[in-house]
Amino acid sequence: MATIIIVKISFDDVSRCDTSHIERALHKIEQNPERVRESQGAYTFTFEEFEDVEGLYLIPEVKCFLRKAHSQVQHLFYYLWTNPEVGNLFGFLAAHASEELISVTDGKADIHFDQSDASVDLLSILIDRLVATAKFAARMADDGLAIISRVLEPLGMDYQQVIVDQVMDALNT
């Protein structure tokens, strides 16, 4: 397993929703496919000033930062550590979810999928980013299916399989 690289996001960058340093760093890595493969699943973010805050991924500035990071680097999941305790998938979902899909019980946030348009929109964004991740992995001679399966593990097998199937359908069209 690769060494975990913790990227400390400054309060100023979060406040300004400035992801340019992440974009530049990954662009530099992407000049060398071997280095890219070595970096797969190795990154996670911490947010200065918010490190010990409960509900980190519900803070508007953090949500903005994560939305922008995933928008600017649409294959960002390729690089993110998939350990469920770190919460990179939850951070993505919370950043993109409408308020109606998020609930907080005893200080713990959760995202509820249902048949609503908001759920469909959230899953559509997730699938789009996973397709971008799988395509990027293929360009780097890496196993995109294995990577997106690891990204989705925190959702459980039922959701994981449905989403993987939709990603595979999108890749084959």
Q: What is the pLDDT of residues 143-156, one digit of tens each?
A: 999 999 999 999 88
CA triple 164-165-171, angle to 5 deg: 90
pLDDT at residue 1 greater than cutoff 60: no
Separation CA 113–CA 110 (nearest Å): 10
pTM of the predicted model as reported, rounded to 2 decimal places: 0.92
Q: Where are the alpha helices (DSSP H) in the chain?
A: 11-16, 20-29, 33-39, 60-72, 88-96, 117-139, 144-152, 157-171
- Residue 44's DSSP bridge partners are 6
pLDDT band at 86 (very low <50, low <70, confident <90, very high): confident
Of residues 94 and 48, more confidently modeled: 94
- Domain of 148 in residue numbering reads as 5-168
90 domain-assigned: yes
Q: Please state the domain count of the chain.
A: 1
Of residues 24 and 83, more confidently modeled: 24
173 domain-assigned: no
pLDDT at residue 114 greater than cutoff 80: yes
Packing angle, helices 144-152 and 117-139, rounded to 10: 140
Question: pLDDT value at position 52?
Answer: 66
